[in-house]
Amino acid sequence: MEAPAKGTVTPIASLFSEEEARKAASYVEEKIGAKRGEMNRLQQFVDENANLINLVAKLPDQLHHNVMVPFGKMAFFPGRLIHTNECLVLLGENYYSDRTSKQTIDILSRRDKTIQSQIRSLKAEIDDFQTEASFFTTTASEAAEGLVEIREEFEEEEEEEEDSSATLLQSGVKEPSGLPGGETAEDEVEDDEFARIMSRLNELEMQEEQEGEDGDGRGEKHDSPIESELDTVKGIRGETNKKQETTLSVPKNASIGESRYSEPRVRSKVIEVLPEKHPHEDQSRGGIDQQNAETWKDFQATSRAKAKTDVVASRKIEVQSPIQQPEPKFDANKAFTGSIVEHALNLETNLHGQKQSSVSQPSKPVSRFKAQRR
Amino acid sequence: MSSSMAHRDLQRDLENKANELGKYQKDIAKNHQLRKKYTIQLGENELVLKELDLLEEDANVYKLIGPVLVKQDLAEANANVRKRIEYIAAELKRLDATLQDMEDKQNSKREAIMKVQQKIQAIQAGKAKA
């Protein structure tokens, strides 16, 4: 059901090679290292400055201090530090000034402020680089895992359809191969049959819709002969064989209880895949093991509505659907060979279907269905 | 025969141009370093100026010239620092201009080199065909 024309799938690896991303990441890491070194240096300045402030603050506490005066490289002489409140401060650029201890502390604290602001800006830079580096590394790992980028045009007409397929696609992306699919051949066959049934049902509904629109009050031929409908199906299949675009089929026969669609309708296209493989098989019998949740719900609604007359058919299907397979959309073969039937549903039905298709577990359709039926 | 001659000429041309490009790049790197130095000096001078502005009128200011501290008038020191800042700012501007100029030259060189490389490739492709 996923028409390839609708979206593009690009492996991330083809956009950014893993190696390149790693290189970029390591380059940025290097830069971060350099900045870190710079920051450590500044931090050291800050510490030294704090120590100096402490010292200068203590100096004027006493009139003189007894100290060891360095004399040359090796020798120390005992000495005495006087004028404890006088400092000769280097302002920078070889300018010095005589200052009191208090004034010196002011100068030093001003210096501390400038260094702190430098550290702050450096930190911001490092943060920037780190986000960059993490981006590169994630890109690299994504490329290595073979993640794919899926782009799809948004089409309002098929909004709901897109929604459901989008949810399904996301689950598909998690596969390491990044490509949807992976159904077994057995599943495929079953899917085919199911899809045929479903497409026929949808077709019937579409016919109802059609006739409802025409305001045509044709009879209540709910259980019209299977053969005639099969013909229609075949005809559609012939038309749309090998095509991928949506085909609107407008069959004339088999109106089914259009009277029940009296409430306002919301039109939504549901595209069903009609596989080529067993065109002549009787569709109401045998081997319907898989089901598309969405259409199944549609069918349910339909069958509920026409429960009086159509009980037999719906019960058949109920019995024959032990496994639910909500992802027939990913069968590439079908997407190519199937014909597509479009139909309109009433709003309630559709919401049901939508919900079911995105939420439903693939394993227990029958119980679900039965619960609904009761 | 002539094509091989042309090829050789182009090779030589390419080499020359590559050398020039390398020279430009070296110059640009030097310029960057110089700029960095000046920026640091500018910052230091601005700090000094701030401190000098904060000093009271009668404060003693010295300048270290060689091994001796020379006493300076505060006003004089202030003027000197201002002048120095002006000079550094002008120098930075000049460096910016030359840097821009060099980068332009570098880019044009790079394009020229690309052209020569393309020519060489075309000749080689022609040879391969022949």
Q: A125 with A248, same domain?
A: no
ipTM value, please give it.
0.76
The alpha helices in chain A, defined as continuous H runs, are 12-15, 18-58, 101-145, 159-173, 185-214, 226-240, 293-305, 307-319, 332-337, 347-359, 365-373
Per-residue pLDDT at A189? 61
Q: A158 with A79, same domain?
A: no
Report the Cα–Cα distance between both ends of chain A, in Å, rounded: 31
Mean pLDDT value across residues A10-34: 86
Does residue B97 sit at the A interface (CB-CB below 8 Å)? no
Beta bridge partners of A68: A78
Q: Which of residues 176-215 of A touch B (CB under 8 A)?
A: none
For residues A261-295, one letter each, b for 16 or more C-beta atoms within 10 angstroms of the residue's C-beta and e for the rest, the string is beeebeebbbbbbbbbeeeeeebbeeebbbbbbbb
Range of the domain at A63: 14-145
Per-residue pLDDT at A60? 92
Per-residue pLDDT at A370? 54
Contacts of B42 in chain A (CB under 8 A): none
What is the DSSP code (8-state) at residue B40? Answer: H
- Number of folded domains in chain A? 3
Each residue's pLDDT tens digit, A35-72: 999 999 999 999 999 999 999 999 999 999 999 999 88
* Nearest residue of chain A to residue B44 (CA atoms): A92
What is the DSSP code (8-state) at residue A11? Answer: E
What is the CATH number for A30? 1.10.287.370
Contacts of B60 in chain A (CB under 8 A): 97-98
CA A181 to CA A189: how far, in whole Å?
14
For residues B71-93, one letter each, b for 16 or more C-beta atoms within 10 angstroms of the residue's C-beta and e for the rest, the string is ebebeebbebbeebbeebeebbe
Per-residue pLDDT at A163? 52
Answer whether residue A63 is part of any domain.
yes
Per-residue pLDDT at A41? 96
Contacts of A99 in chain B (CB under 8 A): 59
Per-residue pLDDT at A201? 85
Is the pLDDT confidence value at A79 over 50?
yes
Tell me the nearest-neighbour CA distance from A21 into chain B, angstroms: 26
Is the pLDDT confidence value at A206 over 80?
yes
Answer whether residue A178 is part of any domain.
no
Q: A222 with A296, same domain?
A: yes
What is the band of A257 on the pLDDT scale with cuts at 50, 70, 90? Answer: very low
What is the set of domains in chain B, with CATH numbers? 2-129 (1.10.287.370)
Q: A25 with A77, same domain?
A: yes
Each residue's pLDDT tens digit, A358-368: 444 444 444 55
Answer whether residue A180 is part of any domain.
no
Q: A168 with A128, same domain?
A: no
Contacts of B63 in chain A (CB under 8 A): 94-96
Looking up tokens 């493989």, which residue turns up?
A277
Q: A166 with A242, same domain?
A: no
For residues B50-65, one letter each, b for 16 or more C-beta atoms within 10 angstroms of the residue's C-beta and e for the rest, the string is ebbeebeeeeebbbee
Answer whether residue A179 is part of any domain.
no
Per-residue pLDDT at B52? 92
Token duo for residue B50: 């701030």
Q: A114 with A231, same domain?
A: no
Mean pLDDT value across residues A178-191: 50
Each residue's pLDDT tens digit, B102-113: 999 999 999 999
Contacts of B59 in chain A (CB under 8 A): 97-99
CA A68 to CA A64: how far, in whole Å?
13
Per-residue pLDDT at A212? 65
More confident residue, A331 or A64: A64
What is the band of B96 on the pLDDT scale with cuts at 50, 70, 90? Answer: very high
Q: What's the mean pLDDT when you consider all of chain A?
A: 66
Is the pLDDT confidence value at A14 over 50?
yes
Q: Which of residues 22-51 of B touch A (CB under 8 A)?
A: 41, 44-45, 47-48, 50-51
Per-residue pLDDT at A140? 86
Per-residue pLDDT at A118? 93
Q: A8 with A106, same domain?
A: no
Q: A275 with A332, same domain?
A: yes
Q: A214 with A332, same domain?
A: yes
What is the band of A194 on the pLDDT scale with cuts at 50, 70, 90? Answer: confident
Is the pLDDT confidence value at A233 over 50?
no
Mean pLDDT value across residues A127-149: 87
Q: A215 with A359, same domain?
A: yes
Per-residue pLDDT at A310? 43
Each residue's pLDDT tens digit, B21-79: 999 999 999 999 999 999 999 999 999 999 999 998 888 999 999 999 999 999 999 99
More confident residue, B123 or A334: B123
Q: Inter-chain contact B47–A91, Cβ cutoff 8 Å? A: yes
Q: A121 with A231, same domain?
A: no
Which of B51, B83, B87 is the best mutation test for A, with the most CBs of A within 10 A?
B51
Is the pLDDT confidence value at A203 over 70?
yes
